[in-house]
Amino acid sequence: MDKNSKTGAFRALDVLLILMMILPVIAGMALKVLFTPESQGIEIKGALIYTSIAAPVQDLLITEAQVNSWLVMISITGLCLFLTHGIRAKVPTKRQYIAEWIVEKCEGLIKGNMHEYFKGFAPFIAAMLGLSAFSSLLSLTGLFAPTSDLNVVAGWAILVFFLITYYKMKAGPAVYAKSFGEPVKFLAPLNIISEFATPVSMAFRHYGNILSGSVISVLIAAGLQGLTSLVMGRLPGFLGEFPFFRIGIPAVLSIYFDVFSGLLQAYIFSMLTMLYVSGGFPADEYFKHKKFGKKEKA
């Protein structure tokens, strides 16, 4: 009886976690339907503005990109809880194999691209990969992809910039300032510009590739609609209005622009994060400084 009650509770929690993954997407669709104005034909627009909050300098806009980002995070949290629910060392389950595979792959990325000092960096990279990938894949449901908004991706890039700067200063501010004069001192101005250009390039690369894919997909769909009207418009009744050329072709293109390109940009952004953070970390100076500090304390 107790075993059955535990099984029932286990399954009930599984259902709740599955709903936690699905309901945010449904909520996003409902919001889009409620706030999207009527339009004629195919239009290319940015994120919808749901509301604004009065602020001293400038009103804070609550947009579709921000809301969808939170919906994606809720769904990812539900997925993680679902995969780790009921994990046991002696009796592995299929979801446990999936969770372990994700962890092993992320740890492999860290091991292959970063210094051993960053072996605990895997959760951050996994979170970045998941958030970027699922945000781009959200366009498959008809919702606005948060990665198509420069503000969202720029926020990620600024966070990465702070991480890069933090680890570059691990050996002390003097070593960090000295790095701008390498390999020769007169290149210091260019190195400073390059330092601040890093988050800009990361943000525009990710945002530009995702947005361009969405725009191209919409333009092709509009072109196919016009081609259908031109070729089939003379057919009588329903046949003249049915979009024959829009069947199948946009879906095939979506596999590349929405799926492949979105996953690729998530991987590239994460790889650049790992390389910039690890490459900027002065390992020799840090461990030398740390060892010297221990000797002084002794």
Q: pLDDT tens for residues 149-177? A: 999 999 999 999 999 999 988 878 888 88
What pLDDT is recorded for position 19? 94
Residue linked to tokens 């650049």: 272
- CB within 8 A of 256, min separation 6: which ones? 213
Low-confidence residues in the chain, pLDDT < 50: 1-2, 4-5
* Per-residue model confidence (pLDDT) at position 49: 86
pLDDT at 81: 93
* Whole-structure pTM value: 0.83
CA atoms within 13 A on the CB side of 203: 18
Helix axes 261-280, 150-168, angle to 10 degrees: 20
What's residue 241's pLDDT? 64
Looking at residue 1, its pLDDT comes to: 40
Which alpha helices (H) appear in the chain, and where do they start and end? 2-35, 64-84, 94-113, 122-137, 150-168, 173-179, 188-232, 238-241, 249-254, 261-280, 283-297
Predicted local confidence at residue 178, as pLDDT: 82
Q: What is the pLDDT of residue 256?
A: 78
- The residue written with tokens 């919409």 in the block is 218
Length of the chain: 298
Q: What pLDDT is stored for residue 201 in this prediction? A: 92
For the chain, the C-alpha Rg in angstroms (whole number) is 25
- In this prediction, residue 2 carries a pLDDT of 44
